[in-house]
């Protein structure tokens, strides 16, 4: 039994693509970058500027928050709530200023760090239906949240460039 436990531990550490802890750090690294992109926008442009009929960056950011906050609970527990059902979690649920948006962002950062250790490792390979709509293995739902943030944040980079503002380095995640 002792040998088995050691093998299992070793398997977890070296025979996986990425560990759960590394994935959390990877996501939070992306979220730190997104936070810097929010900061880089002039206050008014954050809420109004767009190209080609797309959404202002603040609306994209609220989408990230609206997926992450209930999403991490759904991943941990299998209970999928809508962003509206979680509104009472914050007195600052619909931020109208950059400062309020950043404060909301930081609440979600803490929320994720708090919930993450509660996710049983086997959850990621289970199938679930996120928000009662999107069916698939939980790892793909998790990956979707990160990818969606990278995708739209890249669009925020174009907004910034077209405003003559240099965006943060993509590779800087601290």
Q: Give the footprint of a copy of itself on this chain (CB under 8 A).
A: 3-4, 7-8, 11-20, 22-23, 26, 30, 51-54, 121-122, 124-125, 137, 139-140, 142-144, 147-148, 150-155, 157-164, 170-171
Contacts of 121 by beta carbon, 8 Å cutoff, 6+ apart: 20
Look at residues 118, 21, 29, 105 and name the one whose alpha carbon lies nearest to residue 64: 105
Q: Among residues 34 and 101, whose Cβ is nearest to a copy of itself?
A: 34
Residue in the block written with tokens 């730190």: 32
Q: Among residues 23 and 108, whose Cβ is nearest to a copy of itself?
A: 23
Q: Among residues 93 and 142, whose Cβ is nearest to a copy of itself?
A: 142
Contacts of 141 by beta carbon, 8 Å cutoff, 6+ apart: 71, 74, 75, 128, 130, 134
Q: Please tell me the distance from the alpha carbon of residue 120 to that of residue 129, in angstroms, as a whole number.
A: 17
Give me the least distance between CB of 9 and a copy of itself, in Å please.
10
Q: Please tell me the distance from the alpha carbon of residue 79 to that of residue 48, in angstroms, as a whole number.
A: 34
Give me the least distance between CB of 131 and a copy of itself, in Å please.
13
Give me the least distance between CB of 163 and a copy of itself, in Å please.
8
Give me the least distance between CB of 90 and a copy of itself, in Å please.
27
CA dihedral 155, 41, 65, 90 (to 10 degrees): -170
Q: Among residues 96 and 162, whose Cβ is nearest to a copy of itself?
A: 162
């Amino acid at each position: 039994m002792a040998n088995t436990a050691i093998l299992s531990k070793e398997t977890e550490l070296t025979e996986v693509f990425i560990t759960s802890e590394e994935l959390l750090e990877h996501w939070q690294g992306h979220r730190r970058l997104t936070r810097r992109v929010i900061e880089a926008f002039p206050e008014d442009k954050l809420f109004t500027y767009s190209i080609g009929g797309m959404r202002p960056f603040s609306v994209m950011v609220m989408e990230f928050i609206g997926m992450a906050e209930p999403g991490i609970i759904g991943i941990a527990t299998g209970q999928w709530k809508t962003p509206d059902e979680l509104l009472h979690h914050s007195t600052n649920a619909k931020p109208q200023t950059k400062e309020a948006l950043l404060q909301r962002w930081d609440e979600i950062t803490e929320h994720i760090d708090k919930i993450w250790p509660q996710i049983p490792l086997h959850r990621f390979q289970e199938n679930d239906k996120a928000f009662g709509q999107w069916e698939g293995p939980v790892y793909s739902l998790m990956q979707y949240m990160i990818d969606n943030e990278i995708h739209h944040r890249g669009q925020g980079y174009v907004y910034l460039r077209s405003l003559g503002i240099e965006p943060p380095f993509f590779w800087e995640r601290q």
